Amino acid sequence: MFQVIGGRSVQVTRLLAPRSTVIVEAVRGRKSRTDPVAKSKEGRIKVPPPVDATEMVVLKERYTEYQMITRALRLEFKEEVLRKKYEEETGSLAEERARQEAEEHRALMAFNNQENLRMLQVRMLRIQKETEDAERKQVEAVAQREQQQQEFIKEREREILKLQEDAKNFITLENLDQRIEAALDNPKNYNFAIDKEGRVVKQTMLQ
Amino acid sequence: MPRYELALILKAMQRPGTSAALRRTVETLMERGAVVRDLENLGERLLPYTITKHNQRHSRGGYFLVDFYAAPSILTGLLDHLHRDVDVVRPTVLKKDAQVPSSNCCGPQQ
């Protein structure tokens, strides 16, 4: 007779039931067809509920009327919905709207193409300028390097000439004696004195 | 070739001895392939401290400066030779840097 149940009613029953109980529900048809009838139900004759004739007739009429009305209303509403849907898709307004959208689309595409062309022009100019700049910079760099190299060469040439000049004063085997004598005759003194005002005194005592 | 400077301290001798020592030194340099640029005499001075070399104590010495161009490979040999020379009290070889371009001295200007 009692079975453990499942479904949405379970949640409600679970909330309302006390905590310790097991939740069960009465379910029809526990007995199979071969089970004997219960003692309390022996000799029971099932009788349908009594019906009053006039009441029945009146009720039937009212019911038919009522059902007709509700059916009519329902169908009307359904039709309205369908009509609306139809008009939405294939009404006159729909055509207008579709046309306008197409117009807009075309206008926007045209505008876009215009913009693209314009940007193309701008871009071409910019690229041209950039390439020109790059070229100019390149040329300048080359020229600069050339110039630096030239300067370098000149510097070195100057150094070489200076060295050649100095080479005339170098000590050789022939000069050696003379230079030694000259050196011994002229002692050189690199010492000097300086004070805070910056006065230099080169004459110092050589021990 | 890089440029070196030999700061030579010779024994305090008479003139012929000094000139002979100098001649010897310069000739050694030239034998080893150096080009001697200049020879300077800084005078015969009191040494800052008594130097003992070749079993002799020196208190005075002749300071000489020899500029020369040489290959770096000869330096060790040269120094070895100079250390063995009896008249040489102290040989010192230094590298000569290129002259720095004289610019305005950094610091508070007066």
Do residues A187 and A206 touch, judged by C-beta distance below 8 A? yes
Closest CA–CA distance from residue A188 to any residue of chain B (Å): 5
Does the pLDDT value for residue A3 go beyond 60? no
Alpha carbon distances (Å) from A191 to A200, A203, A205, B58: 10, 8, 9, 23
Q: Closest Cα partner for B6 from B22, B16, B15, B19?
A: B22
Q: Which of A85-89, B56-60, B84-88 has the lowest mean pLDDT?
A: A85-89
Give the pLDDT confidence score for residue A129 in this predicted structure.
97
Angstrom distance (rounded) from CA A27 to CA A1: 6
Confidence band, pLDDT 50/70/90 cuts, at residue B38: confident
The percent of residues in chain A predicted with pLDDT above 90, rounded, is 52
pLDDT band at A26 (very low <50, low <70, confident <90, very high): low
C-beta neighbour count of B42 within 10 angstroms = 19
8 Å CB contact between B12 and B62: yes
Looking only at the bridges linking them, the beta strands covering B35-53 and B3-11 are unpaired
Structure tokens at A177: 């004696």
* B19 at interface of A, judged by CB pairs closer than 8 A: yes
What token pair was written down for A189? 């003194």
List the 171-200 stretch of A: residues with Cβ below 8 A of B: 171, 173, 176-177, 179-181, 183-184, 186-190
Q: Which chain A residues touch B40 with a CB distance below 8 Å?
A: 183, 188
In the predicted model, is pLDDT for residue A119 greater than 90? yes
pLDDT confidence band for A9 (50 / 70 / 90)? low
Amino acid, single-letter form, for residue A81: V
pLDDT > 60? residue A2 = no
- Give the model confidence (pLDDT) of A160-184 as tens digits: 999 899 888 888 888 888 889 999 9
Say whether pLDDT at A94 is over 90.
Answer: no
How many interchain CB pairs under 8 A, A with B? 53
Centre a 10 Å sphere on the Cβ of residue B62 and count the other Cβ atoms it contains: 23
State whether A170 and B43 contact (CB < 8 Å). no
Classify strands A200-201 and A193-194 as parallel, antiparallel or unpaired.
antiparallel
Judge contact between B108 and B17, C-beta under 8 A. no
Residue type, A13: T
CB-CB contact of B58 with B51 (8 Å): yes
Q: Are A171 and B39 within 8 A, CB to CB? A: yes
Q: Is the dihedral of CA B94, B98, B99, B105 positive or negative?
A: negative
Give the distance between the most distant pair of CA atoms in chain A. 167
In Å, how far is B62's CA from the nearest CA of chain A? 10
Cβ neighbors of A184 (< 8 A, separation 6 or more) are B15, B18, B19, B22, B41
Considering only the beta carbons, identify the residue of B18, B36, B40 that sits closest to A188: B40
- Write down the mean pLDDT value for chain B: 88
Question: Is residue B2 within 8 Å of residue B69, measured between CB atoms?
Answer: yes
Q: What does each C-alpha distance from A83 to A77, A96, A98, B54 come to in angstroms?
A: 10, 18, 19, 131
Q: Nearest by CB to A180, which of B19, B37, B46? A: B19
B42 at the A interface (CB within 8 A)?
A: yes
